[in-house]
């Protein structure tokens, strides 16, 4: 038995259009998008916590779940953005506290970190701290995008 790779990272979002735009501006490519409904969702109830999925509808009368699949230019990394129109507790999506056990950030190897940070901050992202030189091997920084999503950017120093 051998694990070949991580297929994708799933991120639950509230404002799907703005998060999608952020990742497209970041440089990811669109793989596809669509609505998830039907038998598969019915079987996933224990995981997603939404009851009566077939009877509940989104505000626009469409499916409860929308997804957007994105990937890096090399095709090795995929990001799945998921929007639930109905939450499990009816109180909306609640973000975890900073000290809550969870995935804290996604790291990307990039080229021209300064230009990328400038581009993202002009679009509303927040540079957390500054771009650091890590042991003359990498330039590193963290950027907070929409809905608090944190990206670590790493550029190899040549």
Among 8, 151, 11, 24, CA closest to 93: 11
Count CA within 13 A, CB hemisphere, residue 45: 10
Q: What is the pLDDT of residue 6?
A: 81
pLDDT bucket at 54, cuts 50 / 70 / 90: very low
Give yes or no for a contact between 92 and 86, defined as CB atoms under 8 angstroms apart.
Answer: no
Residue 138: which CATH number? 3.10.180.10
**Domain of residue 137, residue span:** 104-158
**How high is the pLDDT of residue 94?**
56
H-helix or E-strand spanning residue 138? strand 138-144
% of the chain beyond a pLDDT of 90: 52
Domains held by the chain: number: 2
- The pLDDT value recorded for residue 60 is 47
Are 125 and 55 within one domain? no
Of 136 and 49, the one with more pLDDT: 136
Q: Copy the structure tokens of residue 10.
A: 């799933």
Residues 6+ apart with CB under 8 A from 107: 151, 152, 153, 154
Tell me, yes or no, whether 97 lies in a domain: no
Q: Are residues 51 and 26 in the same domain?
A: yes
For residues 153 and 126, state if they share a domain. Answer: yes
Residue 46's pLDDT is what? Answer: 56
- Least confident range of 28-32, 74-78, 102-106, 148-152: 102-106
Domain assignment present for 98:
no
* Residue 86 and residue 32 share a domain: yes
| Same domain, yes or no: 1 and 47 | yes
Q: Which of 30-39, 52-61, 80-89 has the highest mean pLDDT?
A: 30-39
* CB 90, CB 112: distance < 8 Å: no
The reply to whether 86 and 117 lie within a common domain is no
Confidence of residue 36 (pLDDT cuts 50, 70, 90): confident
Mapped onto helix, strand or coil, the DSSP state of residue 156 is: strand
Longest alpha-carbon distance in the chain: 57
Q: Are residues 127 and 82 in the same domain?
A: no
Query: If we measure between CA atoms, which residue out of 76, 77, 60, 66 comes closest to residue 20?
Result: 66
């Amino acid at each position: 038995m051998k694990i070949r790779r991580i297929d994708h990272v799933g991120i639950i979002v509230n404002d799907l259009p703005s998060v999608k735009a952020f990742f497209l501006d970041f440089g990811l490519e669109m793989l596809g998008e669509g609505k998830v409904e039907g038998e598969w969702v019915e079987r996933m109830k224990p995981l997603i916590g939404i009851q009566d999925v077939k009877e509940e509808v989104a505000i626009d009368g469409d499916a409860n779940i929308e997804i957007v699949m994105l990937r890096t230019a090399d095709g090795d990394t995929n990001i799945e953005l998921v929007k639930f129109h109905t939450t499990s507790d009816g109180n909306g999506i609640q973000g975890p506290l900073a000290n809550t056990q969870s995935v804290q950030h996604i790291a990307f190897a990039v080229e021209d970190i300064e230009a990328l940070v400038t581009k993202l901050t002009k679009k509303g992202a927040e540079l957390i701290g500054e771009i650091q030189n890590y042991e003359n091997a990498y330039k590193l920084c963290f950027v907070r995008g929409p809905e608090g999503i944190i990206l670590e950017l790493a550029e190899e120093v040549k």
